[in-house]
Structure 1
């Protein structure tokens, strides 16, 4: 055998295990499609990364993560979803009905974990909660009579409450589902609701100006990722317009909002890492039940109450999970 051929054979033998090891070490790929911005969703993404790390997934070392951000523009979701499908993600994490619908339209095979979703059955995303049956699963934030409970809490702290504005995103299907349920509860309580929507043509400032003209005494902000992303502006406008407001997540109250009642959103993102882990290990999303909330936290901000001229009863404060001074 010629010397050059012999060296070539030795080199091939030496390199083949390395090439095999590199092939074997191909990292799983997680796609993430979120409606807002990295800054506005930081608490949620940090919780997701913490949950993944607890299970041995470290970005850049044991898993690749492809982040896609909607930047509060619903119209971008279909293209972002298509990009994640083309990237051949092994599993995709998302939040919000509009983003989940974009992913459902983009793929019927790549597993999708909805870290936060409203009512996925009513939105047409899955057949039922116990056995979703398709490629989507995750965590719902909706429970029976949740809208009614939020109105009841507002009624406790706003004297003589009879008219309530409802702020929603016109392009979010979940908001329409929540509004319908809340209308039924309001009718039973003798409350008048005044829905006011934001959209690409109606900004937050315009929405609050319209609410002012209704003469309502309080406000409920319906679940929406874009309103969550703009929670600081939403809170500031509600306080400026002297509107006691009920929000859907504690992040609003931490930004200076009056009151929130709902499940912990960061915790749901952390828990979604468990579903990602199970899927990467072979579980099918069709067999993973969509979990419903079992715990609801009541947060109240006393500084906001002072700004709004409200006195919160001591009995109410004792029931709160967290009181911000």
Structure 2
């Protein structure tokens, strides 16, 4: 009996040791909750870049990562609901895309690391103590664009311009900050700067129509509401021959004329790599807000828009620029290809 008992105890100890070893070898699956303000090219690119940045750092969905993606569809009350949900879901990290989403998560979540992106100035938005030393559970990346140099482009695009409109959503602190920067830059260049604002999408067409005959060029910062409704803006502005200088490339792709700015996918990659550092033990309180390097800024030109409004793009803006492929240019390319095939036959 004693020998049998000793044997059973020995087998039990062996099984227990094997179980502990197997558990230690299993890789932990981390859960990341995402709150994105709305769908448009820039924010979508930031999210996709974030996933790519995590993948490059060794974190991939289906292996050691679970991502709970939530889109507020432009409704700030939805952001608050999503933030409360993520708080209760036991996430290892939360990713908030755009200022209203970031503010909602910051108000609700205090004991889980939060990464933010597509926020121009996190400190000015009340999200961190300072951009150099965030000080709590929040850090991330800024989408601050070279606003002054974007305004300077007007000098070569519209040499005779005297009045420049600045158009943004009044409730977006992100946009108001950039609008103030644009006004200051424009006044230094001698322009009369006229401000136009909206609070909801239904006002956009009427406000753009009110600009016709009053401005020589239009500047739109990285504004979420206007970015998601850029086809409406460009429909009116392009018909009125108003050149629109945009804060980011997605707006150019949807009818704007030109931008010189950051790549939101690259911004997302940068944020994803920050997330990997936090999952590995880094403290967000001591991680500075990061920015896309200036040497990564890219011109994006919509040549179809340029042709429609009758503006010749200076060569310096076309060098190393990304030309937008619009539906019209795709159709033209297909027609040319068809003609070439017919000629060959």
Q: Common fold, TM-score beyond 0.5?
A: yes
Give the SS at the match of 2:290. Answer: coil
Contact kept, 8 Å, 1:37 with 1:71, in 2: the verdict is yes
Q: Is the 8 A contact 1:140 1:290 kept in 2?
A: yes
* Contact 2:40/2:227 (8 A) holds in 1: no
- Alpha-carbon distance between aligned partners in 1 of 2:278 and 2:233, rounded to the nearest angstrom: 37
Q: Alignment length, in residue pairs?
A: 314
How much has 1:168 moved relative to structure 2? 0.7
The equivalent residue for 1:164 is: 164
Pairing of 1:189-204 with structure 2 (within 5 A): 189-200=189-200, 202-204=202-204
Bigger helix share: 2
**Residue 23 and residue 211 in structure 1: after superposition, are their counterparts in 2 closer, same or farther (change >3 A)?**
farther
Pair 84,19 (structure 1): closer, same or farther in 2 beyond 3 Å: farther
SS in 2 for 1:45: helix
Q: CA deviation at 1:238?
A: 3.1
Correspondence for 1:298: 299
Change (3 A) 1:323 1:192: same
Distance 1:27 1:74 in 2: 30
1:153 aligns with 2:153: yes
Runs of 4+ in 1 over 6 A off after TM superposition: none
Distance change in 2, residues 1:40/1:119 (3 Å): closer
The normalised TM-score by structure 2 is: 0.81
Residue matched to 1:230? 229
DSSP-derived class of the 1:203 partner: helix
Per the alignment, residue 186 of structure 1 pairs with 186
- Residue 86 of structure 1 corresponds to 88
C-alpha separation between the residues in 1 aligned to 2:49 and 2:247? 18
1-structure distance, mates of 2:162, 2:202: 26
CA distance 1:42–1:178, shift in 2 (3 Å)? closer
Report how far residue 22 of structure 1 moved: 10
Q: Is 1:32 the counterpart of 2:34 in the alignment?
A: yes
RMSD over aligned CA atoms reads: 2.9
Q: 1:241, 1:31 → 2: CA distance?
A: 44
C-alpha change, 1:35 and 1:237, in structure 2 (3 Å) is: farther
Q: Partner residue of 2:5?
A: none
Question: How has the CA–CA distance of structure 1 residues 47 and 201 changed in structure 2, closer, same or farther, with 3 Å as cutoff?
Answer: closer
After superposition, residues 65-80 of structure 1 pair within 5 angstroms as 65-80=67-82
Partner SS state of residue 260, structure 1: strand
**1:76-110 CA deviation, whole Å, 9 max, x = no partner?**
21121111111121111122222111111112221
Tell me how far 1:38 sits from its aligned partner: 8.0
Q: Any stretches of 5+ residues in structure 1 without a counterpart?
A: none
With 105-114 and 271-280 compared, the bigger mean Cα shift is at 105-114
TM-score, with normalisation over the residues of structure 1? 0.86
1:150 to partner: Cα distance: 1.3
Distance 1:109 1:77 in 2: 18
How far apart, CA to CA, are the structure 2 residues paired with 1:56 and 1:314?
A: 42
Q: Distance in 1 between matches of 2:236 and 2:287?
A: 41
Aligned to 1:123: 125
* TM alignment of 1:1-325, pairs within 5 A: 17=19, 21=23, 26-37=28-39, 41-142=43-144, 146-200=146-200, 202-212=202-212, 215-295=214-294, 296-318=297-319, 320-324=320-324
Report the 3-state secondary structure (helix = DSSP H, G, I; strand = E; otherwise coil) of the residue aligned with 1:80. helix
Mark the structure with the bigger radius of gyration: 2
Cα gap change, 1:60 to 1:324, in 2 (>3 Å): closer
Confirm or deny: 8 A CA contact 2:147 2:247 kept in the other structure: no
On the 8 A contact 1:117/1:141 being kept in 2, the answer is yes
